[in-house]
């Protein structure tokens, strides 16, 4: 008797759509990105070339090199993703508004059907939530955090409070407790939301509890990146209790 695959999995699970993800060389949270992803959407990952410097303005600038990002975009196009995401916060805000727009355009020029960057996705998400004043938590040294504040200012988004952890490496090892403590420190009444920067900071499990604790939206680098890419495909992310996910329903693709 011939094998019938529908006896093993339902027909609706056979068709997969994909997102190409261009990540920094030290990105360690692939599994976290998948947690926002619906079952019928796959992630096609590639990494930018290694840069032998600590997490500084110099590293972020190297990661935003348009020719490198363009080549990495081409690298993930073979499995025909419906969107390509540049999953790096500092690399996408380090050049300001103009630099982020150039990254976006370079990905489209490489053949991406649609493209998003972490910092562009942050601005998009804040607009969706109608938020203009935020508090910011970063793992960065001050010079990098200041570039984020400047980038947001170009979009008339005011950072009313910020804290940087001063880390130069191994950011993915930051624990949930440290992040919760930083959010508690930085949250002020004037802030309409809190943003936790860097795609190498793990946040999925604490977003909803933090929102309940402080009574306002909590956005994170990986969250805004995935929500934006999925939204571009006409899909919604999976994130129970997360304000951004709840306010970003899928649209017709």
Q: Is the dihedral of CA 193, 199, 201, 206 positive or negative?
A: positive
**Does the pLDDT value for residue 5 go beyond 70?**
no
Residue keyed to tokens 């190409």: 20
Predicted local distance difference test score (pLDDT) of residue 250: 46
**Does the pLDDT value for residue 17 go beyond 60?**
yes
Position 252 confidence tier, pLDDT thresholds 50, 70, 90:
very low
pLDDT in tens, 34-73: 999 999 999 999 999 998 888 899 999 999 999 999 999 9
Is 9 contained in some domain? no
Predicted local distance difference test score (pLDDT) of residue 14: 47
pLDDT in tens, 76-86: 999 999 999 99
Is 240 contained in some domain? yes
* Pair 101, 157 in one domain: no
* Pair 135, 207 in one domain: yes
Is 4 contained in some domain? no
Predicted local distance difference test score (pLDDT) of residue 91: 97
pTM for this structure?
A: 0.91
Is 87 contained in some domain? yes
Overall number of domains in the chain: 2
Question: Cα–Cα distance between 107 and 105 in angstroms, integer?
Answer: 5
* Pair 114, 62 in one domain: yes
Is 92 contained in some domain? yes
Predicted local distance difference test score (pLDDT) of residue 3: 58
CATH of residue 103: 3.40.50.12500
* Pair 209, 181 in one domain: yes
pLDDT in tens, 109-142: 999 999 999 999 999 999 999 999 999 999 999 9
* Pair 61, 93 in one domain: yes
* Pair 49, 110 in one domain: yes
Question: Cα–Cα distance between 99 and 244 in angstroms, integer?
Answer: 25
Position 6 confidence tier, pLDDT thresholds 50, 70, 90:
low
Predicted local distance difference test score (pLDDT) of residue 53: 87
Phi, psi dihedral angles at 181 (to 5 degrees): -65, -40
* Pair 107, 40 in one domain: yes
CATH of residue 211: 3.40.50.1860
Predicted local distance difference test score (pLDDT) of residue 27: 96
Domain membership of residue 44 as a residue range? 17-118+223-246
pLDDT in tens, 175-218: 999 999 999 999 999 999 999 999 999 999 999 999 999 999 99
* Pair 39, 164 in one domain: no
* Pair 114, 227 in one domain: yes
**Does the pLDDT value for residue 163 go beyond 60?**
yes
Predicted local distance difference test score (pLDDT) of residue 61: 93
Is 28 contained in some domain? yes
* Pair 233, 212 in one domain: no
Is 180 contained in some domain? yes
Predicted local distance difference test score (pLDDT) of residue 7: 56
* Pair 84, 160 in one domain: no
Q: What is the mean pLDDT of residues 72-97?
A: 97
Question: Cα–Cα distance between 209 and 153 in angstroms, integer?
Answer: 28
Q: Distances from the Cα of 30 to the Cαs of 4, 63, 105, 192, 206, in angstroms?
A: 33, 18, 25, 29, 17
* Pair 26, 114 in one domain: yes
């Amino acid at each position: 008797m011939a094998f019938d695959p529908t006896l093993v999995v339902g027909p609706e699970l056979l068709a997969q759509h994909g997102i190409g993800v261009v990540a920094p060389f030290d990105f360690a949270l692939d599994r976290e990105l998948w947690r926002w992803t619906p079952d019928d959407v796959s992630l096609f990952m590639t990494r930018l070339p290694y840069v032998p410097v600590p997490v500084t303005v110099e590293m972020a600038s190297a990661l935003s090199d348009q020719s490198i990002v363009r080549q990495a975009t081409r690298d993930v196009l073979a499995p025909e993703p419906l969107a390509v995401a540049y999953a790096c916060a500092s690399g996408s805000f380090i050049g300001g508004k103009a630099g982020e727009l150039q990254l976006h355009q370079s990905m489209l020029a490489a053949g991406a059907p649609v493209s998003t960057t972490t910092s562009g996705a942050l601005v998009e998400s804040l607009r969706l939530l109608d938020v203009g004043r935020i508090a910011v938590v970063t793992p960065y040294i001050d010079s990098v955090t200041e570039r984020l504040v400047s980038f947001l200012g170009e979009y008339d988004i005011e950072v009313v409070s910020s804290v940087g952890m001063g880390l130069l490496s191994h950011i993915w090892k930051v624990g949930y407790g440290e992040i919760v403590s930083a959010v508690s420190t930085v949250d002020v009444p004037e802030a309409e939301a809190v943003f936790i920067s860097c795609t190498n900071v793990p946040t999925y499990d604490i977003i909803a509890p933090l929102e309940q604790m402080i009574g306002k939206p909590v956005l994170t680098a990986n969250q805004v990146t995935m929500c934006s890419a999925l939204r571009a495909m006409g899909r919604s992310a999976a994130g129970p209790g997360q304000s951004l996910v709840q306010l970003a329903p899928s649209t017709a693709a």
